[in-house]
Structures are given as structure tokens and as C-alpha cells.
Amino acid sequence: MIHSKIVFLHGLQENLVKLVFSAFAQNQNLTAISTKASESEQIKALHDADFIMIYRANPSPEVLKSAAKARLVQLLSAGYDGLNLQLLEELGIPCANNGGANSCAVADQTVLSILALYRRFIPVDHDVRTGAWNAGIDGLNTFELAGKRVGIVGFGSIGQQVARRVQAFDAHVFYFNRTPLSHALETQLDVRYLELDALFKTCDVISLHVPLTQQTHHLVNATRLNLMKSTAILINTSRGAVIDEAALIQALMNKQIAGAGLDVFEKEPVDASNPLLSMQHVVASPHSAGTTSDTWIRRGSFARQNFERVAEGHAPLCVIHAS
């Protein structure tokens, strides 16, 4: 594969590009092209590429059409809603996501969000810093994960990593997935399948780990929020539009649910006037759950291995399709 041209279309800082490239052989033919480059520059870079990596980039149809030689488009992200999969399929170019390279990072932040809400960590930290010692704790408004029912929506690599982590806190895991696991695997993982509405109705924590598609857009709407317990919390580290944000704002304002941990929003960057940002029972982060120093080489390594598979005549792993 040494003579294959690999082009990385990205929106990253140069030091992170170098980390990704460090997963490849030093004599590999690697080219990086920033999303800040003009469309014509991107076309020039991709027109003779054998393999393409993409991260934080939404190439135009013209750029994708220019990649006539490409044998695989490899995303370094898990999500793919910004990419024109339909066009890639028409061009005959398979596309794969990152194979769970950032699953540990996202799972860690999911648990962090749950614990921050359960222990009122952000407002309590503020109280201590401003001299209001113990003001926000009344003995009844903080909680443990032990014994709680955690419902995971989307049980791929990230969902399963979340399950392992909350089980370490002695929580009980239930899941919904488009394709349920076998009974044997459910037993092995100590999880139980529930239909989506039953999961929303009975779980103490709902955590979302699904891609954004036509089927998952506003999956969490007013109807499903109404099913949730008033003591339940909702965590979203997938995509903002999986939740009807207006309905969530109303549910939180009306105390229909106890809180939300949001790494993603319907509009990003989130507007400073968004009511969610002024709520003490919301914890927020800037779509950064999957971004840690540890992930970059894993992302690059998975891409390299997938390119090697294709170069050797095998089908790529983790191929995604237009819905």
C-alpha cells in the first residue's frame, strides 16, 4: 500500500494531523488538505487519491465527484450525517466510520455527565467558590448510580462501552437497538432489551448513542419526554437533532424530567441565549465527548488497517450506507 495516495481532508490543527499520520508508515504517500482550502484546491488534492480520510469536513458534491480513483472514504468520526452517502454510493465508493476509535472517550463523558447531574457537581462547585458552603445540598437532591436503571438507545460500540462503565457503579442496563442482540450475548453482557417507549417509561437514565438519520431525527420528542419519570435524566452525546430541543426545553422548565447532559445541540455552536444554558439541571459541553488526546492514533490506525484490507482485496470494515 506504500505507493497508494492517501488524502486527509480535515478541519484540524496541524499537530493533530501529525498524530493521525503517525499511525502510518513514514514512507507512506500522505497528503493533508484543510477545509480552509478552496474547492478547486480540494479537487486537485483528491482527484488522484486512492484512499480518503475525512474529519470535520463536509466535501461538496464536486469535490467527491473528483475522487474518481478512490477505493474507500474513511471517516475518522463515528457520525456521518454531514457526508453525502447517497452520492458516494452512486459513485461506487464505499464509506466507513471509525470502528469505535472514540468509543471510550464518548462513554467516559457519558458517565461524567450522569455523575455531574446526580451529584449537582457544577452548581456545588460554584457554591464552594463563592462562599456558599453546602448551600446546594439538602440531603435529598443528590443521587447514586447504584441500583438505577440505565437505558441505552443505540447499542453499538459506544453504547456497549457505556454499559460496562455504569455496571461498575452497580447500575442495571437496559437497551434499545434497531437489531436486538442474541439472548446469549445479552446474558454475556448482562443487559436486557426493551422496546423504545418501555425504556423511556421505566429507566432512571436515558443515554442516546444513535447516528442522525431520517429515522432518528427527533427520536426524542414531546411524547417520549412525557413518558419519562420526573426523576429521570437524559444524556445526549450523539447528535443534537436526535432530540426535539424545543420539547426538551419545555420538559425541563416544567420539571417533567430532572435534568439533561448535552454534548450536542440542534444548532452548533449553540447560541448563548439558548434557555438550556441557563438551567442548573443541565450540563453542557461543545460536541467534544469524542475528542481526547488518546483517540487520534487509534483513529489513524483503524483507517490504515481498513486501507490495507482494501489494498489486499478484502472488504472494508464498518461500512455505512445511505438510509
Q: Would you name the residues annotated as active-site residues?
A: 239, 268, 287
CB atoms closer than 10 angstroms to residue 60: 13
- Taking the C-alpha atoms of residue 33 and residue 322, their distance in angstroms, rounded to an integer, is 25
CA distance 313 to 101: 23
Give the 3-state DSSP-derived string for 72-123, with helices as H, strands as E and coil as C. Answer: EEEECCCCCCCCCHHHHHHHCCCEECCCCCCHHHHHHHHHHHHHHHHCCHHH
**Which grid coordinates are listed for 21?**
499520520
- What is each CA distance from 80 to 17, 59, 65, 98, in whole angstroms? 20, 12, 18, 10
Determine the distance from the C-alpha atom of residue 106 to the mean position of all C-alpha atoms in its chain, rounded to a whole number: 6
Q: Which of 9, 27, 12, 2 is nearest to 67 (CA)?
A: 9
Place of cell 445511505: 322
Rounded distance, CA 180 to CA 47, Å? Answer: 41
Assess whether the previous peptide bond of 61 is cis (omega < 30° from 0).
Answer: no
For 1, other C-beta atoms within 10 Å of its C-beta total 17
